[in-house]
A and B are shown apart, each in its own frame.
Chain A
């Protein structure tokens, strides 16, 4: 259960149009990630689906029914906030039980559901603590627990991992993915981190300035970005863009090539350059190479090499991996 459709949805704050007419379909059980730079309207979009923000025009359909003017609680969606928004004066147990109490569920029912949610999230031994006594990751799990007990049609996550440290973020990413697999519920996840988008999503929606740039599976976006914005946003390290002669040689306005699609040689190759900085990660090495005309290029090389600052190398793009873009920064097919 949980199909969400947006039909010509717009949002204005006064005269400022934050989201121009937008159409989007989210299928049952899908894990959809809204990704984009800050201020692109992805959180606003999520809050409009949740009902916390009014829709200026257009329709929000949940399971085919018009929910545009239904109040948040009646939409049957659950949200996990960036600040977790736990109730500080309640114990973990009461935090998780709160939506059930508001729904006037029976005492046994509440006890049963809270216990099972706590089991799923490994919170059983913390049930009588207050949020203030928990670590960031535990608070995050309580917030998810509060969402789970409602058995919602869909989960909405608003940058849930951005307050966690790097190691914990990787853990929680896996936990949320695992949760999605075991519950099978639709999830909509907002983030500005393309790594989260790539690793978790079934479908990524790339947003920029309120408009959808591209929708597709992570690998689809990786392989076939429709424009330079998506090409530059998806993938880490970023795709290299080359202009001027490099692009003119291939009769394009600009060409793009990912760092991992370049081969390296010390003898010969298409482009010659000198290494500015070599970042050795162990498994890989990222070389920041300066080509002619001060063009910067990032190259992903194998981990074990002893290249360093000042070395002259030759770089060759792999066949069929170059993306050609026209003057409007759109992908030129063929």
Chain B
């Protein structure tokens, strides 16, 4: 890649891929932006008319929007907290030499292979169901009243399910990071008088900081668009208690047939996601350098 000639050839060679990706992104985006300025309802086809920013006004002043925004944040932060803490803990445990290490590691990764709708349904019907669920049976066995997870704490229950799904991913990344830790550093810390907790806090955790950054970045992007788990468990309810922005856009465009309003919501979600991404990059992207 040294000469000008080869550089120009390289640009030329990658241009088809770049244009394809650009088109892939730009066509749906511009269509969504176009729809968001229309009064476009599927119940009255053919009557679309240009209404300017009205759709945005409606979407942004809807009380459900603020609730959904808060829910989205709560969901993302909750899952991040659970996966990062749990992931670090599990990775440290799995890094210990033990019998059957290979099988245990595969078992830990297993939840990652289950599709979101299935795992959410399994949790909903087999574990968290207030009548037939395992947790309800346990509670009854202990003489307690069964807890209605999706009625009493819908968002928390969904947070838990999503965290359960993403925990393996975080664990896997932390585990590989742990395995690259120089064993002599741990031994040096032992010689220096650091007990287990101090070794973890002063040596292991700083070593993992880069991996933690990566997990937070990737997970945030995925978690902003959680949808399937909400659809199959609570349908965003009760009320708007478990509706996030993604689900609100769905409800607007496909339950109320308001494509214009839904598109406006979609654009708002894109803007919000970008704001979050920029903040994340600024705040913790520094960690990735050096």
Contact = CB atoms under 8 A, between A and B. Distances in A.
B198 interface: yes
Nearest to B207: A89
Contacts of B7: none
Contacts of A188: none
Contacts of B191: 50, 52, 72-73, 77-79, 99
A83 B193 contact: no
Contacts of A82: 184
Interface string A102-139: 11000000000000000000000000000010000000
Contact of A85 (B187, B194, B207, B209): B187
A261 interface: no
Contacts of B189: 87, 98
Nearest to A132: B290
Given A85-B182, A87-B203, A89-B206, A103 B193 contact: yes
Contact of B193 (A52, A88, A102): A102
Q: How large is the interface on A (under 10, 10 to 19, 20 to 34, 35 or more residues)?
A: 20 to 34
A246 interface: no
B202 interface: yes
B286 interface: no
B142 to A, nearest CB: 42
A81 B207 contact: no
A73 B193 contact: yes
Contacts, number: 59
Contacts of B206: 87, 89-90
A73 B187 CA distance: 10
A173 interface: no
B138 interface: no
Given A87-B202, A87-B203, A89-B207, A102 B192 contact: yes
Interface of A is mostly: loop
Contacts of A253: none
A93 interface: no
Interface string B193-210: 110001000110011010
Contacts of B207: 88-89
B193 A85 contact: no
B153 interface: no
Nearest to A50: B191
A203 interface: no
B280 to A, nearest CB: 21
Contacts of A88: 207
Interface of A: 50-52, 71-73, 77-79, 81-83, 85-90, 98-99, 102-103, 132, 146, 150
21 contacts: A72-B187, A72-B191, A73-B192, A73-B193, A78-B191, A79-B188, A79-B191, A81-B184, A82-B184, A85-B182, A85-B185, A87-B185, A87-B188, A87-B189, A87-B202, A87-B206, A102-B192, A102-B193, A103-B193, A146-B188, A150-B192
Interface of B: 182, 184-185, 187-194, 198, 202-203, 206-207, 209, 290
A-B pairs with the 4 shortest C-beta distances? A73-B193, A99-B192, A85-B188, A85-B184
Given A73-B192, A81-B187, 19 more contacts: A51-B190, A52-B191, A71-B190, A73-B193, A79-B187, A79-B188, A81-B184, A83-B184, A85-B184, A85-B188, A87-B189, A87-B202, A87-B206, A89-B206, A89-B207, A98-B189, A98-B202, A102-B198, A150-B192
